[in-house]
Amino acid sequence: MPDSNPSAAAELIAFIDLAAQRRRLGARIDEAVLRVIDHGGYIMGPEVKQLEADLSAFCGARHVISCSNGTDALMLPLRAKGVGPGDAVFCPSFTFAATAEVVALVGATPVFVDVLPDTFNMAPASLEAGIARAVREGLRPVAAIAVDLFGLPADYDAIKAICAAHGLWLMADSAQGFGSVCKGRRSGTIGDVATTSFFPAKPLGCYGDGGAIFTGDDELAATLRSLRVHGQGSDKYDNVRIGVNGRLDTIQAAVLIEKLKIFPDEIEARNAVARRYGEALADVAVVPVVPEGMVSVWAQYTLRIDGGRRDAVAARLKEAGIPTAVYYPKPLHRQTAYRGYPVAGNGLPVSDRLAEEVLSLPMHPYLTPDCQTRIIEAVRHAIAG
């Protein structure tokens, strides 16, 4: 950093500023982590139970099963429900790989469904088409995984109705959406089972890997708790099913207990940032919409820039010192490991198009008005280009 330009350091803009959150929390997390190091209950210590109770109080889910990461959180319910070869599980193509990975990993077939252009979330009509496709292929439709992409709840009224009509159970992949609200219900209470991730960059993140599963189903919860610890039965040394080592570290639980205390305030701050982006950029790009009755937690703030100009705009922003990201440059049905799986209808045109157009801007609860002004001006300038 040149000495002649003392303002340069202040001008560095982070895509996600975890350091600002750390400054706000001060010594609280350090003390919480030290308490665990001192008491020594590193595995399934008291903080794990405490966190599960806190998460349950926060979102209203009857059962919270913390686990090793957001991918295991998706995989364990599939195992608990006995999903396997010959079963079709429907998931959007425009998502992070983990959503479909777990389906393939248990031996079932992911069937890719398109998304809506305005919310980036599962398109109900495409889910219908995907179910028809699975049946034609001789697969047994068993479940759907809806994703709360970028922090916004999926269209659960429509998706639940389709699942009910076809006898599917529904899992909500809320890795990016924990804390969001759909028609008065918090993420974690929607679907037969919901999951989240505490990966550091998610809206509620820890200092490593972590995840959680939420359900109102007593029997499913008991099976999940057993699967999380090698399929343990009531007698610790008589394992009753094949499970995994899927526990959340006590230290991560201690971190999350402290972060959850400020999470409601952070959700407010994220929404204030999103409102300002929306007001300032709606005339130059397609800005994200939040349907009536929903609250997003803005894991990402994602614009659509059409006409093949997205990459040029991102390059200009980079030159101006504004970090951006493309989530996702390739929908899953186009990726090497997944392109052999069935897709709904005659292809997934919206997923394909979004991959060309999306651009995510810096988004976190500690984005100052000055930083945001700089970002907004740079985006307007880059698009006018």
Ligand X SMILES: *Cc1c(COP(=O)(O)O)cnc(C)c1O
Selected range binding ligand X among 37-45, 169-177, 250-258, 339-347, rule: CB under 6 A: 169-177
To ligand X, the closest distance from the beta carbon of 209 in angstroms equals 6
Per-residue tokens: 381: 């300038």
- Pick one of 66, 69, 180, 360: the residue that binds ligand X (CB under 6 A): 69
* Binding of ligand X by 179 (CB under 6 A): no
Report the candidate in 195, 189, 172, 173 with the shortest Cα–Cα distance to residue 246.
195
Q: Give yes or no for residue 205 binding ligand X (CB under 6 A).
A: no
Please tell me whether residue 254 binds ligand X under the rule CB under 6 A. Answer: no
**Site mask, ligand X, residues 135-164, x = CB under 6 A?**
------------x-----------------
Q: 25: which 2 tokens? A: 């929390």
Q: How far is the CB of 175 from ligand X (least distance, A)?
A: 3
Residue 338 interacts with ligand X (CB under 6 A): yes or no: no
Q: By CB under 6 A, which span of 4-12, 40-48, 64-72, 76-84 interacts with ligand X?
A: 64-72
| Residue nearer to ligand X on the CB measure, 254 or 376 | 254
State the Cα–Cα distance between residues 332 and 335, nearest whole angstrom. 5
- The H-assigned helical ranges of the chain are 7-11, 18-25, 28-39, 46-59, 70-80, 98-105, 124-136, 156-166, 218-228, 250-281, 310-319, 349-357, 369-384
197 binds ligand X (CB under 6 A): yes
Burial profile 270-279: b = 16 or more Cβ within 10 angstroms, e = fewer: bbebbebbee
Q: Which residues contact 268 (CB under 8 A, 6 or more apart)?
A: none
Q: Does 71 bind ligand X (CB under 6 A)?
A: yes
Specify the length of the chain in residues.
385
Q: Which is nearer to ligand X, 46 or 208 (CB)?
A: 208
**Which range in 36-44, 92-100, 212-220, 231-239 contacts ligand X by CB under 6 A?**
92-100
For ligand X, give the closer residue by CB, 123 or 382.
123
Does residue number 175 form part of the binding site for ligand X (CB under 6 A)? yes
Backbone angles phi, psi at 147, to 5 degrees: -110, 135
| DSSP conformation letters of 209-266 | --EEEEES-HHHHHHHHHHHBTTB-SSTT-B-S---B-PPBHHHHHHHHHHHHHHHHH
Q: Does 99 sit near ligand X (CB under 6 A)?
A: yes
User: How far apart are CB 282 and ligand X at their closest, in Å?
Assistant: 26
The residue count for binding ligand X (CB under 6 A) is 15
CA–CA separation, 241 vs 105, rounded Å? Answer: 18
One of 66, 176, 252, 324 touching ligand X (CB under 6 A): 176
The residue within the footprint of ligand X, chosen from 45, 78, 79, 95 (CB under 6 A), is 95
Nearest approach, Cβ of residue 152 and ligand X (Å): 12
Contact region with ligand X (CB under 6 A), list: 112-120, 170-178, 179-187, 227-235: 170-178
95-112 residues labelled b (16+ CB within 10 A) or e (exposed)? bbebbbbbbbebebbbbb
Q: In this chain, which stretch among 80-88, 171-179, 182-190, 375-383 interacts with ligand X, using CB under 6 A?
A: 171-179
Rounded to a whole number of angstroms, the minimum distance from the CB of residue 97 to ligand X is 8
Q: Please, what is the minimum distance in Å from the beta carbon of residue 377 to ligand X?
A: 30
Cβ atoms of 169 and 87 closer than 8 Å: no
Tokens read off for 130: 């995907």
SS3 302: strand
Single out the residue of 87, 128, 155, 173 in contact with ligand X (rule: CB under 6 A): 173
* Separation between Cα atoms, residue 155 and residue 139, nearest integer Å: 25
Cβ-closest position to ligand X: 70
Residues found near ligand X in the complex (CB under 6 A): 69-71, 95-96, 98-99, 147, 173, 175-176, 197, 199, 209, 211
